[in-house]
Structure 1
Amino acid sequence: MYQHILVPTDGTALSTSAVTNAVSLAKTMGAKVTVLTVVHRLPEMALGGSYTYMDEYRRHAQADAERRLSDAEQKAKREGVSCDAVKVEDRQPFEAIIETAEARGCDLIVMASHGPRGITALLIGSETMKVLTHSKIPVLVYR
């Protein structure tokens, strides 16, 4: 049915669970997995314009992203599932998710829902909701 699954991860427990579920689903279907992590690119003035803080933020964000990807790759390897790891830097994670899925020929996106509720959900929404709203590729949401 599905041949190539994209699963974004931000390192939270829910997204880590989505990676586990996506790998399991891929194994069942004989599909390939691409694990994506998006490093949020902050505007230069977000940290007061200090390049020292920006450099430190970038170093920590990049190291954290590498760790997430490595963990996901190891899960896939243990299950015998082919896995690519992709790291992108973007201000809009949902756009990076959709663009990566399209560019890599993925036919399913598997995501976790962190489920903002109430006024927060109305004002900013969630990355999962934005992907659901804008993606032409099917999206499977784990909660």
Structure 2
Amino acid sequence: MSEEIIVHPVAWPPAPIKTERLELRKSEARDRVALIDLFASPEVGTYVGGSRPREELEQALPEVPGQRFGFFVVDLNGTTIGMITLDRRGPERKGHIRPEGGEHELGYMFLPQAWGRGYATEACAAALDWFADAHPGEPGGALHPDRQ
């Protein structure tokens, strides 16, 4: 049985996306420790509503975490340094661009040792390029009014 998942007209997972320094790919079992480090990091938690206890994550995270549409692991020379998600905003969430909701949202988290090197910019640009090809006609981007 194939691992490919079809959602709308977009096949998931796509082939790995390579940039000058990074690779965006589906998660694998080898990413679990780095993702636990990411979700448990107090520094990262500052920007995403708080970190989670490592013990809780070790029990809760599946052997291969992030096996869902829109979840990319960001890899630098064979090492997981972060993740990117592309999700649809449910109608119950605040801050919609259009009244009916359903917009896509880009989110990212990187380990603190990867901060300040342009990896997030490079990885997000690659994910958005993939998205633009996969979803022609969707809005290119918006900024929440409170963030301007």
Could you state the TM-score of these two structures normalised by the residue count of structure 1?
0.29
Tell which has more relative contact order, 1 or 2 (C-alpha 8 A, sep 6+).
1
Tell me the TM-score normalized by structure 2. 0.29
- Compare the two structures and name the one with the higher helix fraction: 1
